[in-house]
Amino acid sequence: MKEATKEEEKKNPYSDTVILPNTNFPMKAGLSSREPAQIKEWEDTKLFRRMKEHRKNKPVFVLHDGPPYANGNFHTGHALNKILKDMVIKSKSLSGFYADMIPGWDCHGLPIEVQVLKNLGKKVKETGPEELRKLCREYAEDFVGKQGSDLTRFLCFWEKDRIYKTMSPDFEAKIVEVFGELFTKGYVYRGKKPVYWCIELATAHAEAEIEYYPHTSPSIYVKFPIQGKPKHFALIWTTTPWTLPANQGISFNPQFSYSFYSVNGNESILIADGLKESVEKETGLTLKKESSVSKEEIEQMIFRHPFLEQDSIPLFGDHVTLDAGTGAVHTAPGHGQDDYKIGLAYGLEPYSPVNDYGKFTDEFPLMKGVKVWDANPKIIELLKEKEFLLHLSQIEHSYPHSWRSKKPLIFRATPQWFFQIDFENLRENSLAAIDKVTWIPSWGFSRIRSMVESRPDWCLSRQRNWGVPIPAFICENCDETFLNSDSIKHFTRIVREKGIEIWYSESAEALLPSGAKCSKCGSDKFRKGHDILDVWFDSGVSNFAVLDERKGEPPADLYLEGSDQHRGWFQSSLWPSMALRGVPPFKAVLTHGYVLDDHGRAMSKSLGNVINPTTDIIDVYGADILRLWVSSQDFRDDVRVSKDGMKIIADNYRKIRNTFRYLLGNLAGHTSDQNLPIQDLEEVDTYYLSQLSKLTEELKNFYETYQFHQVYQKLLLFCTVTLSQDYFEMIRDRMYCDRRDSKTRRSSCTVLQIILETLCIYSAPILSFTSEEVWKENGKTNSVFLEDFPNLSNYRNLKLEEKLSAALSIRESVQKALEMARQAGKLGKSLEGALELTPKSSNANILKSFAKADLELIFTVSQVTFDPDAREQLSEYSDDTYKIRVLKPLDSECPRCWRHPKEERIRELCIRCSEAIK
């Protein structure tokens, strides 16, 4: 039955007898203005704590929060990450787990220090280390508060008195303690080797702090004279001319064949045969082979540096490839990882005549004080003058840059603290362990595995101020580094008691255990070192500082972060845990992609495409819309966000909300004690209860496998099609016109109530405010989050589903036939029509097993017959199973329900309506 217009209601004396939906649940949500009051109620009643207390004897599920950097407000990528985590915790809790997550913040490091220095401006020179650290701490604390407010506004559940900050005294003490344990066990060492170095910030970088951008470099082919062989040269290729002053050798691959090739008619160059054509193509020269050269012959050669008074020796290693160059590789052990390794094998010093700021020292007096980038053209000119430059061009390639300064990095050998990846079979053990971790999506496994396989030793030290100091001391007498198990344990106890700032306020003597002496010279006079720990080490040991130990098992059930963390936090957490526990810190790792604009571009202020989660989404639509958008995305890949896209999400939210509103409105006046036993329900109601059961099975599986986009799609489809388009339409006449206490109406109300409560609970992890709002409107006094996902498996009725599916399969054809009559101007409301159904095959006869009343309800018509009928035909339509004729009913319309039942009238009303108004 259709709802009457206002004009029809005025004319119709029976309007007041129809049971129309009635609810105070507003059609307009007003989320942005109404959500804060609900947030306050959740906080005042300590709901998250009560959720856990309610399930204190249930299986434990721990999601370990990767700490965001306490610098700036949350952007849309943060919103995606935090809301996904919240959905996991809420869905796990509703699934019967004691689900917990302690939010954390990464508070040390370059971004904060650089910003504080920028804010100081001209006052930088008069600001000491202790004052700078104080300002950094205040800066980080401020943004912890701001980001915490964002987290709350996202409708995420957390306890404000239960968070972790890497700058808190207990956490800093744990950092020192774990570092000490790793050092004591032999995993940490100090050595001089090339590391990524930022000359702008004068500090080392770990691989996780590197970003790759296009960069243009000079591409040069340089001739190294061979001693004793005039006009014969080894030809090398390099894109870093500034590293040539540090050259100590030329590397060859012992598996390759090499030859001398004539060039310019009077010179010979030594290159790999496999790169002859490549060299010709790059240089434009024509090379003619003169003679092959064996490995033994190369071993006897000595090369002369092209512009320094020193020799360069032949080296052999399998790092030399045929991908590019000449097969003869310029080797500077102080300026490259492969160079360092081969130099180590040959006993070469990792020599680097470059200072912290990228300027040449007096070890290369010719260009002392010149920055490496400025030295490139000068060295090229020098090579031209010496006539050792064979070819010069430019090359654009992907080059490592600092994640903070955005400037190109260099490789530079400096004394640093390293975590030893291959100590005690750690790499092999870690590879075996990650085989047992669940990686979602599955490609994450191959990605992390390849990174672990090739990971160099981890550079732990940084040359900055704001961070946890490495508690190493230097002997005043001989400059030997002093650090041992006793000194670390002693310092850890001091930090726990007085905080990490004690390192900066007290003398070395006050921080060392009594009797400490230099192991090299025996002196007891020390000064403090100046290195701090990599911030990735801070967050990497968070699982030690925050989580409870589980003997022999990972302490966290799940890590959930962006896919860039395969080389970041996942690894910085993996190495210490494997070294000290022998197990990884996580049982499963789930990653999400980046948030891009609607054109697939990264969001940036310069492009003007930034979507702010608070001002552009929550303030306009509400946090539930932001959460619904997050749930709608297959976050395993990069996701896109736009203002137009948000309008679509908001429209879909309204469809879900109106479904809740319709359910609440139709249940007005109905109480649970009026529900019918399941076995007494009408067939159509039983069918849709079975459909609900099927839906819950799917939703449970999708929540369990973190496929929130499938949850969103299934819920939306169920609300808009299964319910609004089909079920609500079918039972509308019954709900409006049957007696309130009739068995048929009570049957539908029973199912509507189960649907309402079930959808409300299953929507709660996503639409947290709306679900709580619906739950209250339904008369519940406790929070929806103290419920469990309903198990409706007993309501599944496969036999009935098969039967009803037959009727529903031709419902669409019936709608087409009715629409044809409507378009021809022969039919108004569907209830003005009757149907004659003629089966085309014996398989179609299943409809004859239905009660006529049920078919009339399913097809929303007044009459259904399977017998030939001579009444006026309004339209005809056929599908594969039935010929459908729409006929004009001969019986008059009941003015109350507008149906045309084939029965006598009682004072113009049909029998059903006459009974209903008694």
- Residues 678, 604: one domain? no
What confidence score (pLDDT) does residue 5 get? 54
Whether 190 is in a domain gets the answer: no
- Residues 571, 624: one domain? yes
Q: How many C-beta atoms lie closer than 10 Å to residue 492's C-beta?
A: 21
What confidence score (pLDDT) does residue 265 get? 78
Q: How many CA atoms lie within 13 A of 412 on its CB side?
A: 22
> 632, 661, 681 — which closes off a domain?
632
- Residues 357, 224: one domain? yes
Pairing of strands 882-887, 873-878: antiparallel
Q: What is the DSSP letter of 552?
A: T
What angle separates helix 728-737 from helix 852-859, to the nearest 10 degrees? 110
pLDDT tens for 818-861 read 999 999 988 888 888 889 888 887 766 788 888 888 888 899 89
Distance from C-alpha of 431 to C-alpha of 166, rounded to nearest angstrom: 28
Whether 408 is in a domain gets the answer: no
What confidence score (pLDDT) does residue 7 get? 54
Q: How many CA atoms lie within 13 A of 172 on its CB side?
A: 24
- Residues 252, 337: one domain? yes
41 is in an annotated binding site: no
Instruction: Give the tokens for residue 382.
Output: 């020098």
Domain that holds residue 293: 215-398
What confidence score (pLDDT) does residue 806 get? 83
- Residues 379, 256: one domain? yes
Pairing of strands 267-272, 232-238: parallel
What confidence score (pLDDT) does residue 659 get? 97
Taking alpha carbons only, the member of 518, 515, 512 closest to residue 494 is 512
749 is in an annotated binding site: no
> 615, 632, 649 — which closes off a domain?
632
Residue for token pair 């540090």: 246
561 is in an annotated binding site: yes
- Residues 620, 680: one domain? no
Distance from C-alpha of 74 to C-alpha of 612, rounded to nearest angstrom: 8
> 337, 363, 398 — which closes off a domain?
398
Which residues, given as ranges, of the chain have pLDDT below 70? Answer: 1-11, 843-844
- Residues 718, 756: one domain? yes
The tally of domains found in the chain comes to 4
- Residues 786, 820: one domain? no
- Residues 784, 848: one domain? no
CATH number where 828 lies: 3.30.2320.20
Element (H, E) at 679: none
- Residues 821, 772: one domain? no
Pairing of strands 556-562, 532-533: unpaired
Q: How many C-beta atoms lie closer than 10 Å to residue 464's C-beta?
A: 19
Whether 27 is in a domain gets the answer: no
CATH number where 774 lies: 1.10.730.20
- Residues 742, 821: one domain? no
Starting at the earlier edge strand, list the strands of the sheet with 586-592: 98-100, 60-64, 556-562, 586-592, 438-440
The whole-model pTM stands at 0.86
Whether 202 is in a domain gets the answer: no
Q: How many C-beta atoms lie closer than 10 Å to residue 55's C-beta?
A: 22
CB contact set of 13 (below 8 Å; sequence gap of 6+): 895
Instruction: Give the tokens for residue 436.
Output: 């047992």
Pairing of strands 882-887, 834-839: antiparallel
Distance from C-alpha of 836 to C-alpha of 845, rounded to nearest angstrom: 14
518 is in an annotated binding site: no
897 is in an annotated binding site: yes
CATH number where 273 lies: 3.90.740.10
Whether 176 is in a domain gets the answer: no
Whether 413 is in a domain gets the answer: no
Whether 903 is in a domain gets the answer: no
Distance from C-alpha of 319 to C-alpha of 299, rounded to nearest angstrom: 17
Whether 352 is in a domain gets the answer: yes
- Residues 240, 319: one domain? yes
